[in-house]
Amino acid sequence: MRNFILAGLAIAGLAACGTQTETDVSDGAATATPAIASAQGPEAGGTDDVEPAYGQGDALVSGTDYNATTILKCGFDNKPPTQDCNAGIKRNWGKEGEHLVEVEKPDGRKRAIFFKGTDPYGADSAQADGSAGWDFKSTRKDDQVTVRFGPETYVIVDAMITGG
């Protein structure tokens, strides 16, 4: 019975490890108040699809690993960007200030376009689909950039990148 009680106390002690308290002794009486958790996300009991407090990060679109999703203009086979493609962005992907826009093409495959700030600098490529040798070019007009990667064209607005 003694071992059972000790085991119960050990479990209760471990459960309390997840809760931090601060002690206020300014008036001579000690009172415990819960400390604010510094971590967010599933490990800390939070969820990734909850809107963060203003200035405290970038929320994820529920059910995705994207900070935002949209429909953007796209074109294939050297045709103008008149089609609609679903796209998502992962902000601060990799290094701070670098972002990844992932576009779902009409055939279901995805094309990743890499940004530093609002400037695109490359796209994923592969020998298998022939894109390894394609040229990457971009042009800017006002608040949007047109990316040409081989025979593919994508029009991406800055607000997608900046969250504005």
Q: Name residue, tokens 């203003």.
A: 54
Q: Which H helix or E strand runs over 159?
A: helix 158-162
Q: What is the pLDDT of residues 100-123, one digit of tens each?
A: 999 999 999 999 999 999 999 999
Comparison of pLDDT for 52 and 95, the residue scoring more: 95
DSSP string, 28-39: SS-EEEEPPPS-
What predicted TM-score, i.e. pTM, was given to this entire model?
A: 0.65
Residue 36 pLDDT > 50, yes or no? no
Band of residue 32 on the pLDDT scale cut at 50, 70, 90: very low
Band of residue 57 on the pLDDT scale cut at 50, 70, 90: low
* Burial of 31 (C-beta count, 10 Å sphere; 0-12/13-18/19+): exposed
Strand partners, 103: 87, 111
